Amino acid sequence: MSKQTKKNVKMIDVTNKKVTKRTAIAEAFINLNTVTKEKIYKDRIIKGDVISVAKTAGILAAKKTSDIIPLCHQIPLNSVEIEIINKPKGLQILSKCNSASKTGVEMEALLSVSITALTIYDMCKSIDKSIEITKIRLLSKKGGKSGNYKR
């Protein structure tokens, strides 16, 4: 057994930070075959309405981010918008999260696209074993001490 070094783990103190308006947009891409996409859009997936269920799961995930990511602050979300765009090789998932808080909403946006994609995977896995989730990434953020970011 190797000797481990003791590491400090802590939640960052945001007491002295100012409340500012913050926005983050994240994306994920889920590769699906043509037959699976057709079944999704013709509402022929046995588990039900894939798009509605996946969007709902993504919104719920954003609201529960601090319960899932250990050092993430609990923040009030003003809105979460999930968009699922049909692309030639699959679906692009976008999440836009807004808050007025002392810390950013990047993790909420990233978790929401991840869970949206995983929900689509779960609902379609019985008919498509080749599903692949890719490109989970932050596209932009606004607000806060570190300023704006755009990929």
Positions annotated as catalytic residues are 122
If phi > 0 it is left, if psi is from -120 to 50 it is alpha, else beta; for residue 48 that is left
Give the HSE-up count for residue 132: Cα atoms under 13 Å, Cβ half-sphere. 6
pLDDT in tens, the chain (151 residues): 455 666 788 888 999 999 999 999 999 999 999 999 999 999 999 999 999 999 999 999 999 999 999 999 999 999 999 999 999 999 999 999 999 999 999 999 999 999 999 999 999 999 999 999 999 999 999 998 888 999 9
| pLDDT attached to residue 6 | 67
Please report the pLDDT score of residue 145 as a whole number.
81
* 36, 124 contact by CB (below 8 A): yes
**Phi-psi sector, 145: left (phi>0), alpha (psi -120 to 50), beta:** alpha
Beta strand ranges found along 32-142 (DSSP E) = 77-87, 90-101, 132-142
* pTM across the whole model: 0.93
Q: Is residue 143 left, alpha or beta, with left meaning phi > 0 and alpha meaning psi from -120 to 50?
A: left
CA 77 → CA 20, 122, 126, distances in Å? 12, 26, 34
Distance between CA atoms of residues 76 and 34, nearest Å? 39
Ordered domains of the chain (ranges, CATH): 31-143 (3.30.70.640)
Token duo for residue 139: 């596209």
Three-class DSSP category at 88: coil
